[in-house]
């Protein structure tokens, strides 16, 4: 019975994406899980003894820059060895086929761009850029491992990501909301939908009349309210519907 039901949901999601003129996608850490990058939360998500909410803050960095930087340097080294997976590549295919496509990601790992996605909105920034805490200059730095860096002006460099309590980059966030409000289908992949304002894109899509397809290995707060809730790993499900 469950198999049959899944097949019907899969077909429904595939048809919705096939007939969509405009698609917006929101991805979270779950799409990078099959690339070997641990998620923040959930059963499998085991960070190296750190708790994101405590360390991904400007206060933590101001207080213990070396400790916070150690966590980011560890993640950068992990991501540098990781490859995009079939889920990332399925979204590259989808972008080629859909006339209006926007990929909104909460991930800072850069794997969507490495897979070949073009229109990517990194609403929580990127782990590959550093920003000076004194003059705010920002630059890309790919070297791993990397000790805590100082800017030429002497200021300590932080990861150019959005920490808890910090606002999202305004232009990127505006564009993300615009894309969600005008899409026919909103595809939500691998996010626990607990971090705001990103998670607010799901009710925004619903109020704008978009059909929502969710891909996750476990139910989320929004699973009952979406048109198609596909229960499975992104690397297996996305190639079947994109």
Q: Which residue number, 96 or 134, has a Cβ lying nearer to Zn ion? A: 134
Residue 26: Cβ-neighbour burial (10 angstroms; 0-12, 13-18, 19+): buried
DSSP structure string for 127-149: EEEEEETTT--EEE---SS-PPP
> Could you tell which of ligand BV8, Zn ion, none binds residue 34, using a CB distance below 5 to 8 A set by kind?
ligand BV8
CA dihedral of residues 70, 163, 111, 155 (deg, nearest 10): -60
- Cβ–Cβ < 8 Å for 208, 182: yes
Q: Which of ligand BV8, Zn ion, none has residue 151 at its interface (CB below 5 to 8 Å by kind)?
A: Zn ion
- Residue 132: which of Zn ion, ligand BV8, none does it interact with, CB under 5 to 8 A by kind? Zn ion
Burial 131-145 (b: 16+ CB within 10 A, else e): bbbeeeeeeeeeeee
Query: Which is it for strands 120-122 and 157-161: parallel, antiparallel or unpaired?
Result: unpaired
**Residue 64 per-residue DSSP state:** -
Of the pair 132, 234, the CB lying nearest Zn ion is at 132
Does residue number 132 form part of the binding site for Zn ion (CB under 5 A)? yes
> Closest-CB residue for ligand BV8?
30
Q: Which spans of this chain sit near ligand BV8 (rule: CB under 6 A)?
A: 28-30, 33-34, 39-42, 45, 52-53, 56, 106-108, 124, 161-167, 190-192, 194-197, 215-218, 220, 233-234
Between 100 and 204, CB nearer to ligand BV8: 204
Instruction: Give the contact letters, 142-181, x = binds to Zn ion (CB under 5 A), - = no.
Output: ---------x-x-x--------------------------
Give which of Zn ion, ligand BV8, none residue 217 binds (C-beta under 5 to 8 Å, depending on kind).
Answer: ligand BV8
Whether 119 is catalytic is no
Distance CA 233, CA 79 (A): 19
Q: Phi and psi of 236, rounded to 5°?
A: -100, -40
Judged by beta carbon, residue 28 or residue 110, the one nearer ligand BV8 is 28
Preceding omega of 17 cis (within 30 degrees of 0): no
Shortest distance in whole angstroms from residue 21 CB to ligand BV8: 26
- Residues of this chain that interact with Zn ion (CB under 5 A) are 132, 134-135, 137, 151, 153, 155
Kindly list the catalytic residues: 124
């Amino acid at each position: 019975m469950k198999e049959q039901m899944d097949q019907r949901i899969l077909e429904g999601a595939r048809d919705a994406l096939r007939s969509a003129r405009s698609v917006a996608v929101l991805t979270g850490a779950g799409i990078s899980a099959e690339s070997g990058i641990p998620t923040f939360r959930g059963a499998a998500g085991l960070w190296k003894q750190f708790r994101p909410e405590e360390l991904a803050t400007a206060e933590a960095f101001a207080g213990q820059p070396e400790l916070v930087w150690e966590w980011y340097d560890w993640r950068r080294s992990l991501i540098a060895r990781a490859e995009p997976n079939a889920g990332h590549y399925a979204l590259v295919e989808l972008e080629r086929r859909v006339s209006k496509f926007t990929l909104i990601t909460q991930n800072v790992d850069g794997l969507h761009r490495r897979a070949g996605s073009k229109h990517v909105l990194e609403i929580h920034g990127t782990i590959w850029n550093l920003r000076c805490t004194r003059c705010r200059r920002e630059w890309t730095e790919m070297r791993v491992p990397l000790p805590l860096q100082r800017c030429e002006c002497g200021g300590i460099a932080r990861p150019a990501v959005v920490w808890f309590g910090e606002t999202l980059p305004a232009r990127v966030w505006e564009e993300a909301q615009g894309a969600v409000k005008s899409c026919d289908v909103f595809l939500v992949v691998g996010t626990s939908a607990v971090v705001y304002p990103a998670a607010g894109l799901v009710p925004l899509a619903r109020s704008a009349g978009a059909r929502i397809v969710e891909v996750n290995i476990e139910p989320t707060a929004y699973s009952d309210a979406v048109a198609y809730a596909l229960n499975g790993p992104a690397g297996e499900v996305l190639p079947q519907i994109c």
